């Protein structure tokens, strides 16, 4: 499969250099990843079972083993700026097969959380946040579907936040508590104007 996302030039150059520089290591990155993910990437012995089980690996340069290694070595910038970070489908096949009982999928999720703190995030994730802030649903209802629902004898809007919009306030409170809507709006605006 042809890649659709390009590496930033700086990262491409870095990856061509296979040496490991002590000043690029951030031991606290390993600890933070382990805390958020509640798993143990430092136990990894690089057998590669994870990459071999990965549905994204055969069709891209995404290598889950590499990310676990970066976690272990504390290579924060290299892990968080790599666009492949976003190619994990979270299928958990690697987690089920890891002989060291690590959950590589959760390592990826933790790294994505840390990337977001640096505004590194694809906009499609943020648009889901915006949709939920407005309606409570990531995939909201529409008129064609409302008509179909009525034909089935269901209410036009399901008895969720759609049917009871007063509940949307609680959702907005939670998203505002974490300043997620504010940050989502800001980043989407920066990217798309």
**Closest approach of Cβ 8 to other proteins, in Å?**
16
Angle between helix 168-177 and 123-135 (nearest 10): 140
**Closest approach of Cβ 48 to other proteins, in Å?**
18
Residue nearer to other proteins on the CB measure, 24 or 129: 129
Q: Which residues contact 138 (CB under 8 A, 6 or more apart)?
A: 128, 131, 132
Residue nearer to other proteins on the CB measure, 13 or 58: 58
Chain residues that interact with other proteins, rule: CB under 8 A: 1-2, 4-5, 36, 55-56, 59-60, 86-93, 95-96, 101, 103, 105, 109-110, 112-113, 116, 121-122, 124-129, 132, 136-142, 144-145, 148-149, 151-154, 158-164, 166-171, 173-175, 177-178, 180
What is residue 14's three-state secondary structure? helix
Residue nearer to other proteins on the CB measure, 72 or 85: 85
The upper half-sphere exposure of residue 84, i.e. CA atoms within 13 Å in the direction of its Cβ, equals 21
**Closest approach of Cβ 27 to other proteins, in Å?**
22
HEC profile of 36-51: HHCCCHHHCCCCCHHH
User: Could you tell me the sign of the dihedral formed by the alpha carbons of 58, 59, 64, 66, in that order?
Assistant: positive
User: Could you tell me the sign of the dihedral formed by the alpha carbons of 77, 12, 64, 120, in that order?
Assistant: positive
**Closest approach of Cβ 120 to other proteins, in Å?**
11
Residue nearer to other proteins on the CB measure, 47 or 174: 174
Residue nearer to other proteins on the CB measure, 14 or 112: 112
Q: How far is CA 4 from the centre of its chain?
A: 18
Residue nearer to other proteins on the CB measure, 21 or 178: 178
d(CA 97, CA 79): 23
**Closest approach of Cβ 188 to other proteins, in Å?**
13
**Closest approach of Cβ 168 to other proteins, in Å?**
8
């Amino acid at each position: 499969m042809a890649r659709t996302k390009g590496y930033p030039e700086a990262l491409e150059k870095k990856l061509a250099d296979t040496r490991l520089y002590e000043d690029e290591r951030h031991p606290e990155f390993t600890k933070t990843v382990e805390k958020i993910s509640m798993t143990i990437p430092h136990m990894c012995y690089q057998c590669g079972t994870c990459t071999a089980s990965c549905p994204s690996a055969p069709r891209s340069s995404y290598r889950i083993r590499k990310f676990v290694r970066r976690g272990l070595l504390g290579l924060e910038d290299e892990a968080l700026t790599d666009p492949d970070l976003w190619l994990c489908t979270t299928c958990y096949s690697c987690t089920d097969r890891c002989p060291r009982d690590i959950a590589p999928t959760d390592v990826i999720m933790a790294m994505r959380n840390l990337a977001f703190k640096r505004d590194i995030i694809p906009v499609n994730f943020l648009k889901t946040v915006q949709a939920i802030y407005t309606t409570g649903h990531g995939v909201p209802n529409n008129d064609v579907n409302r008509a179909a629902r009525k034909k089935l004898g269901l209410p036009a809007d399901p008895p969720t936040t759609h049917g009871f919009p007063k509940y949307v306030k609680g959702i907005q409170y939670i998203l505002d508590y974490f300043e997620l809507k504010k940050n989502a709006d800001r980043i989407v605006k920066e990217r798309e104007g």
